[in-house]
Every structure is written in C-alpha cells, then in structure tokens.
C-alpha cells in the first residue's frame, strides 16, 4: 500500500493502482468529475493508464449549475 491524498485527505491505495481504480474503489462515478493529479488536469481517457505513486495529490472537481 502507498499513501496519496484525495481532496486533501490521506488515503491508502494499492501500489500501482490506476486513477480509474481509485475512483472505482471509492464508488465514485468517473463521469461526474474532472481529475487533477499533482496540479495537472488529466484527460478521462488516460485515467486507466496512469498509476498512483506515493505522495500523489488527487483533486476531484464537479461542475455546478446555477448562476
């Protein structure tokens, strides 16, 4: 297991887990979020291919309608 941050909270994930796997494990709908990894926006089609590393910082953002 390695330690990462998800929205500022510590989270232990399996070593080499993909970004998509982290969302799946947390039961989060991947279509509902934009994902930023270490201050860089990651396109959704890359989530399955990018593996988490110790110390990574993931931030999830969702669009909010209104005005």
**pTM of the predicted protein model:** 0.85
Higher pLDDT, residue 23 or 63? 23
Band of residue 12 on the pLDDT scale cut at 50, 70, 90: very high
Instruction: For residue 40, list its beta bridge partners.
Output: 37
Give pLDDT, residue 66.
65
For 23, what's the count of Cα atoms within 13 Å in the CB-facing half-sphere? 22
The domain made up of 2-61 has a fold known as Ubiquitin-like (UB roll) (3.10.20)
Band of residue 22 on the pLDDT scale cut at 50, 70, 90: very high
Give pLDDT, residue 25.
92
For residues 30-57, one letter each, b for 16 or more C-beta atoms within 10 angstroms of the residue's C-beta and e for the rest, the string is eeebebebeeeebeeeebeeeebeeebe
pLDDT tens readout for residues 42-62 = 999 999 999 999 999 999 998
């Amino acid at each position: 297991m390695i330690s990462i941050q998800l929205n500022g909270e510590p989270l232990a994930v399996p070593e080499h887990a993909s970004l998509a796997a982290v969302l799946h494990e947390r039961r989060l709908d991947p279509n509902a979020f934009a994902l930023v990894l270490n201050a860089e926006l990651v396109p959704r089609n890359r989530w399955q291919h990018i593996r988490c590393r110790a110390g990574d910082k993931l931030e999830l953002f969702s669009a909010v309608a209104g005005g």
